[in-house]
Amino acid sequence: MLRIQIYSVQNGKKNGNRLTAEFHRSLYPSHHKNREQQEEQHMTEHVPIVIVGGGLVGLSAAAFIASRGVKPVLIEKHPGSSLHPRAMGYTARTMELFRSIDLEKKIPQIDASFRLRRVKVESMAGKWFEETHWSEARGKDGQKGGKGDHAPSAMPSPCMGAAIAQDRLEPIIRTRALEFGADIRLNTQVTSIEQDDECVTLHLKDRLNRSISSITADYVIAADGHSSPIREALGIKRSGRGHMQTVKSVLFRETNNKLEEYKERGYQQFSIEQPDLKAFVTTYSDGRWVLMYTDDVEREPSAHQGEIRKAVGRDDIDIDIITTGCWDLSALIADTFSSGRIFLVGDSAHQLPPNRGGYGANTGIEDAHNIAWKLVEVLEKRARPELLATYDAERRPIAWLRHDQIFARSDYSYQAGENGKKAITYDDAAMELGQLYRSAAIVGAGSELPPAATPEEWNGQPGTRAPHLYVSMGEDQISTLDLFQKGWVLFCSGEHWKEAAAVNGIPTVDLDTDLRHGEELRRELGINMVGASLIRPDGYIAWRRIGTEAPITETPKYIFPPDSSPGNQLNFARRRRPAENMQGQLWTEYLDQPFPASVLHWVEEMWEQESRLQRGETIPDSPQMTSSPTIDFPSPFQLLEPLRHNQRRSYNGESRFISPRPVVILDKSSPLATSMKYCTVTVKLLDQEGSPLLEDEQDHLFSPQGKQFVLSVAHHRTAPISVKLTGKIELRELRLGFTVVCETNEGETLRFHLTSNAFHLLRDRRPKMRSGVRVSGRGRRGPCCGKTTLLEAIQKLNIGGVNIVFEMARTYIDEKMEQGLSLQEIRKDPWQFQTEVLKRKVELEDELLSDPSHRVILMERGIPDSIAYGAADGGIFPADQLSTRHARENLRDRMWPNQ
Ligand SMILES: Cc1cc2nc3c(=O)[nH]c(=O)nc-3n(C[C@H](O)[C@H](O)[C@H](O)COP(=O)(O)OP(=O)(O)OC[C@H]3O[C@@H](n4cnc5c(N)ncnc54)[C@H](O)[C@@H]3O)c2cc1C
């Protein structure tokens, strides 16, 4: 176990105005009550998550996590918020995140027309020079130009930005976190930290009574600020533009509110340009102002009053200095945002200079939201721990994007090198609401996509924030954001999607029936009538299926429970269990549509991941994103007919193939029927839930031709596939899975998945025949007696006068397909289908039998089979005509009249 000592870091000037212990005691009585008792508990306490640092970001993480039902412990060394606020401006995106925990209304939002404006002045009361713009917006042609300081009203969000001093906002978030059940321990300092494969141990010091304790956690969030003792102790380095300046500031109040008049012209920030004073004055809009010295002149504390008057340009103002501060103007990004079970968020992960885009705290609050839902999913066993690796994969590039944007824009261009000046600047709306995530938890964020674009420019691409629209749901008008920022949700229409989502516990919103403006949302999500869009709990699009032109390269990973045995654990392709009687078995399975190809693909992806993990291979953070082929939906491939419910294993020397031999067919009405160049079908064994068996178990599936078969492009079908199961396979319920890979004339490679109905493996060995009487009974009624093999052998002998008639169902289906019907349409009414097939069998047999030139007639799956199915339900046909017994006697009488 690695033990890391954390040294207390003194951050800037020590604040002499801390809350006293007594005041704190009255403010948080429960914190002090039973302190000794709590200490006892701390010694042995284990919690799911510890957050270190109770600044804006740590508190946000606590609120986001607690709102999802996991109670974190937050450790903060100070008694409350710093007296000297720093942040003031919060983006619409931050407010969207706060909206998800019902905080939006508690935080005053800025007027829609508000723009943060800065002007260069000699002094506030003196000469005014030009306005300095934060960014140069791109014109229609993408060139820099124009004013570029965005009015938040232009944002396609239900929220406005907010302007509130950090020390006023922190208590609001803290209260919300406490309401959700977070355990916030102030005056407590983390002094050292250790982690191993199982957990993280934190050693704590109570700064009031000096007692020492420790706590263990499954995961730790380090929100411990830019000098992050945890990051330093972990040895994580930082890169970036680096340290530029140390800035000293004075927080003051002008008692007669005389400074307010300078805001009337619409400016809130003033750059003071005097030969002996370079400074910056801004307001927290609550009566407090701050002066920041941008020069390097050393000043005595007694000089501040005079300097403030110089900056304002007036002597007739009364100044009350509240406190002074000191902070580093630096741009530094941690080289990794996670190490084992510890995750860096906020300034600990990225220190960004203050700017008018508000990249510091806002980026940190988004970090907190990103890691919060992932930790909760993993702790609640809804996701595998690998999901956590996507935190660094998603958030670090955003930090870098913002880092680079700062230097590409006017405010800091003086600090940028030549490269910084050349960098593309993204629109503010793109930076706030339109950044793109790429990670293993996003599928289909193509490499051609830009790192950010405005919400209007996006069209539901995976990796982007799902769009905001006002929609009507029942009587209420809500923002779409309210539908998806709390958990996973699938936007779709149609039962097949709902079924697939339901087995994973993913709620669905039916765009046709649940919403009144579903069509508009469908357009925004970039999907069509049969498409679907899967939205993550942070409101980002994880994956989508457009519909007729759906990208289907990959599907999201890591969102289901981890376990070594995918067959047992992937509770994914669960189907209705076959009914008890034979009719139930037949019809339920017969009607069961294959799962959407994408979902099966998903299962397969997960299975591959599981297998690789089991083999001890590491899984890369981000999957390879290949170009997106397009396919039709539903899958145009089908199994010609279901497998029999009972199958047998094949012992050495035996050839008991799975029956009937599966035939994969392509729907002739599909566009693929004319554009397919080459197609192969690979078969594998699935468990009863539809998840592939482990690789070594796949060896129990055997075919003399291997496991890959060609699907004839001319005939739109495979030959019957001969596969058998070895005698060593355990007796259980199984399915066959078929992966169809085809190449189109246009050079695209498409992949589809089919799954068969479930079948039982019944017995160990061929039943013994005693005195010519077959042993039968429940569990011993396998229909396989090798007759297909026998018939094929007889056919090969080519004996004159011997007629062999194969599979009337196949002939019937082919005939109907020639007439333009799809397989679904042919099988839509199962009763009608089976009746038709049986009628034809009877007619054919009658016809053959009525001709005396036909000496021997051998039927594969003739009347007795159909009768058996029909009879199981009391008979499709009148029992006196076509009961099994009647049919057999009838046939025997006709074929062997003298016996
Ligand atoms: C002048 C100025 C203006 C700014 N304006 C904006 C703005 O308008 N918008 C914006 O988005 N950003 C702004 N920022 C940036 C913003 O203030 C920071 O990004 C943000 O405060 C970082 O929050 P944090 O929670 O990550 O870190 P902090 O606020 O630094 O919190 C870290 C906490 O961890 C605690 N801690 C540290 N070590 C330990 C330990 N060992 N044990 C227990 N607790 C510990 C500390 O006491 C502290 O409370 C501004 C910054 C400056 C300097």
CATH (domain of 740)? 2.60.40.3960
Is residue 774 included in any domain, yes or no? no
Q: Where are the beta strands (DSSP E) in 14-160?
A: 46-52, 73-75, 89-90, 118-121, 128-132
- Whether the pLDDT of residue 169 is over 50: the answer is yes
* 431-482 confidence digits (pLDDT tens): 999 999 998 888 778 788 899 999 999 999 999 999 999 888 777 888 999 8
Give distance in angstroms: CA of 364 to centre of ligand 1.
Answer: 9
Task: Return mean pLDDT, the chain.
Answer: 76
Q: What is the pLDDT of residue 751?
A: 78
Residues 343 and 273 both lie in one domain: no
Nearest CA to ligand 1 atom 30: 225
Q: Average pLDDT in the 302-319 region?
A: 93
Give distance in angstroms: CA of 347 to centre of ligand 1.
Answer: 6
**Could you give the CA distance from residue 436 to residue 630 in angstroms, rounded to a whole number?**
22
How much of the chain, in percent, has pLDDT values that exceed 90? 35
Distance set, CA 10 to CA 14, 205, 628 (Å): 7, 16, 52
Q: Average pLDDT in the 560-587 region?
A: 25
**Could you give the CA distance from residue 636 to residue 544 in angstroms, rounded to a whole number?**
19
Residues 56 and 174 both lie in one domain: yes
* 723-742 confidence digits (pLDDT tens): 999 888 888 889 898 888 88
- Whether the pLDDT of residue 279 is over 70: the answer is yes
Nearest CA to ligand 1 atom 53: 86
Which residue intervals of 49-160 are DSSP H helices? 56-67, 92-99
Q: Average pLDDT in the 244-251 region?
A: 92
**Could you give the CA distance from residue 77 to residue 185 in angstroms, rounded to a whole number?**
8
The domain boundary, picked from 291, 306, 330, lies at 330
Strands in 532-535's sheet, in edge-to-edge order, are 508-510, 489-492, 532-535, 541-545
Q: Report how far Cα 608 is from the mean position of its chain's Cα atoms.
A: 18
Q: What is the pLDDT of residue 568?
A: 23
Residues 607 and 649 both lie in one domain: no
Residues 287 and 206 both lie in one domain: no
List, in order, residues 6 or more apart from 730 with CB less than 8 Å away: 761
**Could you give the CA distance from residue 455 to residue 468 in angstroms, rounded to a whole number?**
9
3-state secondary structure of 261: helix
Q: Average pLDDT in the 27-55 region?
A: 65
Give distance in angstroms: CA of 164 to centre of ligand 1.
Answer: 15
Q: Which residues of 838-877 are buried (b: 16+ CB within 10 A; e: fewer)?
A: bbbbbebbeeeeeeeeeeebebbbbbbbbbebbbbeebbb
- Whether the pLDDT of residue 375 is over 90: the answer is yes
CA 361 to ligand 1: nearest atom = 11
Residues 220 and 250 both lie in one domain: no
> pLDDT grade, residue 271 (50/70/90)?
very high
Distance set, CA 148 to CA 119, 135, 138, 580, 853 (Å): 15, 5, 8, 69, 93
* 814-836 confidence digits (pLDDT tens): 778 778 787 778 877 776 777 77
Give distance in angstroms: CA of 355 to centre of ligand 1.
Answer: 15
Give distance in angstroms: CA of 55 to centre of ligand 1.
Answer: 6
How much of the chain, in percent, has pLDDT values that exceed 70? 70
Is residue 152 included in any domain, yes or no? yes
Give distance in angstroms: CA of 751 to centre of ligand 1.
Answer: 49
What length does the chain have? 899
CA 362 to ligand 1: nearest atom = 11
Q: What is the pLDDT of residue 616?
A: 62
CATH number of domain containing 181: 3.50.50.60
CA 191 to ligand 1: nearest atom = 41
> pLDDT grade, residue 256 (50/70/90)?
confident
Give distance in angstroms: CA of 131 to centre of ligand 1.
Answer: 29
Residues 730 and 813 both lie in one domain: no
Q: What is the pLDDT of residue 829?
A: 76
* 621-669 confidence digits (pLDDT tens): 333 322 223 233 357 888 888 888 888 888 776 778 898 889 999 988 8
469 contacts 517 by C-beta, under 8 angstroms = yes
Residues 309 and 371 both lie in one domain: no
Is residue 177 included in any domain, yes or no? yes
Say how many domains are in the chain: 5
Is residue 873 included in any domain, yes or no? yes
**Could you give the CA distance from residue 502 to residue 498 in angstroms, rounded to a whole number?**
6
Residues 195 and 166 both lie in one domain: yes
**Could you give the CA distance from residue 894 to residue 226 in angstroms, rounded to a whole number?**
94
Neighbours of 714 (CB within 10 A): 5
> pLDDT grade, residue 694 (50/70/90)?
confident
* 851-877 confidence digits (pLDDT tens): 666 656 666 556 655 555 444 444 444
Is residue 803 included in any domain, yes or no? yes
Give distance in angstroms: CA of 224 to centre of ligand 1.
Answer: 8
Copy the structure tokens of residue 233. 């102790």
Neighbours of 50 (CB within 10 A): 27
Residues 194 and 260 both lie in one domain: no
Mutate to test the pocket of ligand 1, among 15, 18, 56, 280 (most ligand atoms within 8 A of CB): 56
Give distance in angstroms: CA of 56 to centre of ligand 1.
Answer: 6
Report which of residues 649 and 365 the model is more confident about: 365
- Whether the pLDDT of residue 879 is over 80: the answer is no
Mutate to test the pocket of ligand 1, among 75, 77, 91, 294 (most ligand atoms within 8 A of CB): 77
Neighbours of 522 (CB within 10 A): 22
Nearest CA to ligand 1 atom 35: 53
Mean pLDDT lowest for which of 503-507, 618-622, 668-672? 618-622
Give distance in angstroms: CA of 836 to centre of ligand 1.
Answer: 75
Give distance in angstroms: CA of 44 to centre of ligand 1.
Answer: 30
Nearest CA to ligand 1 atom 41: 190
Closest CA to 485 of 158, 46, 710: 158
Report which of residues 466 and 612 the model is more confident about: 466
3-state secondary structure of 156: coil
Q: Report how far Cα 557 is from the mean position of its chain's Cα atoms.
A: 7
The domain boundary, picked from 380, 396, 412, lies at 396
Nearest CA to ligand 1 atom 20: 361
Phi, psi (rounded to 5 degrees) for 748: -85, 145
Give distance in angstroms: CA of 257 to centre of ligand 1.
Answer: 29
Mutate to test the pocket of ligand 1, among 84, 86, 208 (most ligand atoms within 8 A of CB): 86
**β-pairing, 162-163 with 350-351?**
unpaired
Residue with tokens 């799809």: 822
Please name the amino acid found at residue 139. G
Query: DSSP characters for 727-795?
Result: TTSPS-EEEEEEEEEEEETTS-EEEEEEEPPPEEE--SSPPPEETTEEP-STT-----SSHHHHHHHHH
The domain boundary, picked from 396, 415, 431, lies at 396
CATH number of domain containing 317: 3.30.9.10
Q: What is the pLDDT of residue 524?
A: 92
Residues 274 and 321 both lie in one domain: yes
Domain that holds residue 536: 470-562+593-613
Mean pLDDT lowest for which of 58-62, 325-329, 789-793? 789-793
837 contacts 829 by C-beta, under 8 angstroms = no
Give distance in angstroms: CA of 345 to centre of ligand 1.
Answer: 11
What Rg value do the Cα atoms of the chain yield, rounded? 36
**β-pairing, 532-535 with 541-545?**
antiparallel
Residues 890 and 831 both lie in one domain: yes
Q: Which residues line ligand 1 (CB under 6 A)?
A: 6, 52-58, 75-78, 86-89, 189-190, 223-225, 229, 327, 346-348, 354, 358, 360-362, 364
Mutate to test the pocket of ligand 1, among 110, 214, 224 (most ligand atoms within 8 A of CB): 224
Is residue 404 included in any domain, yes or no? no
- Whether the pLDDT of residue 617 is over 50: the answer is yes
Distance set, CA 100 to CA 436, 727, 780, 807 (Å): 20, 56, 58, 59
- Whether the pLDDT of residue 782 is over 50: the answer is no
CA 226 to ligand 1: nearest atom = 30
- Whether the pLDDT of residue 336 is over 70: the answer is yes
Is residue 793 included in any domain, yes or no? yes
Q: Average pLDDT in the 270-277 region?
A: 93
Nearest CA to ligand 1 atom 7: 87
Is residue 683 included in any domain, yes or no? yes
Residues 751 and 665 both lie in one domain: yes
CA 353 to ligand 1: nearest atom = 51
